[in-house]
A = this chain, B = another copy of it.
Amino acid sequence: MASGASYAASPPPLKNELDIVIPTIRNLDFLEMWRPFFEPYHLIIVQDGDPTKTIKVPPGFDYELYNRNDINKILGPRASCISFKDSACRCFGYMVSKKKYIFTIDDDCFVATEPSGKKINALEQHIKNLLCPSTPYFFNTLYDPFREGADYVRGYPFSLREGAPTAVSHGLWLNIPDYDAPTQLVKPLERNTRYVDAVMTIPKGTLFPMCGMNLAFDRDLIGPAMYFGLMGDGQPIGRYDDMWAGWCCKVICDHLGLGIKTGLPYIYHSKASNPFVNLRKEYKGIFWQEDIIPFFQNAVLPKECTTVQKCYIELSKQVKEKLSKIDPYFDKLADAMVTWIEAWDDLNPTGASKANGKA
């Protein structure tokens, strides 16, 4: 591996510095399979839907659980920025965490296996990804130069080999691929069986579709931009929560000189969501993204935006100015982006997260 990253091979487990955030509406039986990997960590469970329902968590896990009543109580009127009846509610967990790192996973995701048959510790791979630099400024053809047995290839400028701090680690899915409703409808039987043994950096200036199913990030570096938007109950759109967060994060990471990696680790995604329901949730997004993508591709943040919060507020202004003409929804979303930052700052006074991470 490239020098300066000897910690990558066996990363520190970060037990006191990482929370696992799980949005759910059901009992968390899926945790049994993850027990050897997740039990040492603290879980933040965000209960969606009916708050009177009891969510069972298998014994032995250390967790806190927030239902809608809790969210309303903690955030007051600002709770309006947290989606209801949509897994976008997970971002509340990012906000109440006091740790440096977050790993978030869907409750229909199980432990995948390598081609060798070895069970994949997804969390460990995310930690590796986050603890070594990204390479957003130039493409390395042998993929992540910080992995064992790899390095920068001939022709990679030496001045760029330091890379950039990694803010986001985007993991992938074996079995059910993360397809949109039209593709699900056309290819109901397609399964992802290809294990691609690679981690790579999304280059600067390139957008990507960030999926929230198997995702880790550094709260200190990018947390306030990990807002999953307004989806689900009362909103005209769903299934674009993670996409929205991904577009915002990428633009802000590019501006602040941070990196985003994608590839390993895989999880096993067990159950495809209903494509007809998905189509109803998605269809406006399918139109809107044709305008949203160029908007983000062309978004420029001024130099004065030196923190994630400042970048995010600036983006919210640009959303209001340029996307509201598509639909009044974006006006509401832009306001919610501001509310989200206010709530974030309220729960995370400056430096609190860092101090806690070092405790």
Contact = CB atoms under 8 A, between A and B. Distances in A.
Contacts of A51: none
A240 interface: yes
B153 A211 contact: yes
Contacts of A286: 158
Interface stretch (A26-34, A63-71, A194-202, A306-314): A194-202
Interface of A: 115, 138-143, 147, 149-160, 170, 172, 177-180, 183, 187, 190-198, 200, 202-211, 239-240, 242-243, 246, 262, 286, 289-290, 293
A209 B141 contact: yes
Given A195-B197, A197-B196, A203-B206, A153 B138 contact: no
Contact of A205 (B141, B197, B205): B205
B150 A208 contact: no
B138 A239 contact: no
B194 A196 contact: no
A196 B193 contact: no
Nearest to A195: B197
A206 B209 contact: no
Given A141-B262, A142-B172, A149-B190, A154 B243 contact: yes
Nearest to A289: B157
B192 A150 contact: yes
B207 A143 contact: no
B139 A207 contact: yes
Contact of A180 (B140, B154, B203, B207): B154
A216 to B, nearest CB: 15
Nearest to A179: B154
Given A197-B195, A290-B159, A153 B141 contact: no
B149 A191 contact: yes
A253 B54 CA distance: 57
A289 B190 contact: no
A325 to B, nearest CB: 19
A162 to B, nearest CB: 13
A155 B141 contact: no
B151 A190 contact: yes
A151 B177 contact: yes
Contacts of A191: 149
A155 B115 contact: no
A239 B154 CA distance: 9
A79 B147 CA distance: 44
Nearest to A145: B183
A242 B209 CA distance: 32
6 contacts: A138-B209, A147-B194, A154-B183, A157-B290, A157-B293, A196-B196
Nearest to A286: B158
Contacts of A170: 141
A211 B177 contact: no
A355 B203 CA distance: 38
Contacts of A152: 179, 183
Contacts of A183: 151-152, 154
